[in-house]
Chain A
Amino acid sequence: MTSIPDAIAPEAGAAQAAAAAAESPAREAWRMFRRNVPALVGVGILAVILAATLYGALLYPGNPYEIVWAPHEPPGATAAFPLGTDYLGRDLVAGLLTGGGPTLAVGAAAAALTMAIGVSLGALAGYFGGWVDDLLMRLTEFFQVLPTLLFAMVLVTLFSPTLWTIAFAIGVVSWPQTARLTRAEFLKIRQLEYVTAARAIGARNGRIMWRVILPNAAPPLIVSATLTIGVAILFEAGLSFLGLGDPNTMSWGLMIGANREYVLDAWWPVTFPGLAIFLTVFAVSLIGDGLNDALNPKLRGR
Chain B
Amino acid sequence: MGGTGWLLRRLGYGVILLVGVVVLNFLLIRLAPGDPAEVIAGEMGGATEEVLAGIRASYGLDKPLLTQLGLYLANVAQGDLGMSYFFDRPVAELIGRRIGPTILLVLTAQALSVVIGVALGVIAARKPNGPLSAFVSVFAVIGYAVPVFWTGIMLIILFASVIPIFPVEGMADIRLRDAPWWEQALDVAHHLVLPAFTLAVIYLAQYARLSRASMLDVMGADYIRTARAKGASEGTVLFRHALRNAMLPILTVAGLQFGNLISGALLVETVFNWPGMGRLAFESILRRDYPTLLGVLFFASMMVVVANIVTDLSYRLADPRLRNAK
Contacts and interface: CB of A to CB of B under 8 A. Distances in A.
Interface of A: 141-142, 144-151, 153-155, 157-160, 230, 234, 237-238, 241-244, 253, 256, 260, 263-264, 267, 270-271, 274, 277-278, 281-282, 284-286, 289, 302
The 6 closest A-B pairs by CB, nearest first: A149-B263, A274-B150, A281-B145, A282-B145, A158-B32, A147-B262
A256 B149 contact: yes
A144 B286 CA distance: 26
B285 A278 contact: no
A271 B28 contact: no
Interface in B195-237: 213
A146 B297 contact: yes
A143 to B, nearest CB: 10
B20 interface: yes
Contacts of B270: 241-242
Contact of A282 (B20, B141, B294): B141
A274 B147 contact: yes
B242 interface: no
Interface of B: 17, 20-21, 24, 28-29, 31-33, 39, 141-142, 144-150, 153-154, 156-157, 160-161, 213, 256, 259-260, 262-264, 266-267, 270-271, 278, 281-282, 285-286, 288, 290, 293-294, 296-297, 300-301, 304-305, 308
A275 B55 CA distance: 47
A157 B285 contact: yes
B150 A150 contact: no
Contacts of B286: 243
Contacts of B141: 282, 285-286, 289
A142 B24 CA distance: 10
Provide the main secondary structure of the chain B interface. helix
Given A145-B259, A256-B153, A150 B297 contact: yes
Most buried by B among A146, A160, A242, A256: A146
Given A158-B290, A271-B154, A147 B263 contact: yes
B153 A157 contact: no
B301 A145 contact: yes
Nearest to B300: A147
B157 A282 contact: no
B300 to A, nearest CB: 5
Contacts of B263: 147-150, 238
A78 to B, nearest CB: 22
B142 to A, nearest CB: 7
Given A145-B17, A153-B293, A241-B147, 5 more contacts: A144-B304, A145-B20, A145-B259, A149-B266, A238-B147
B147 A149 contact: no
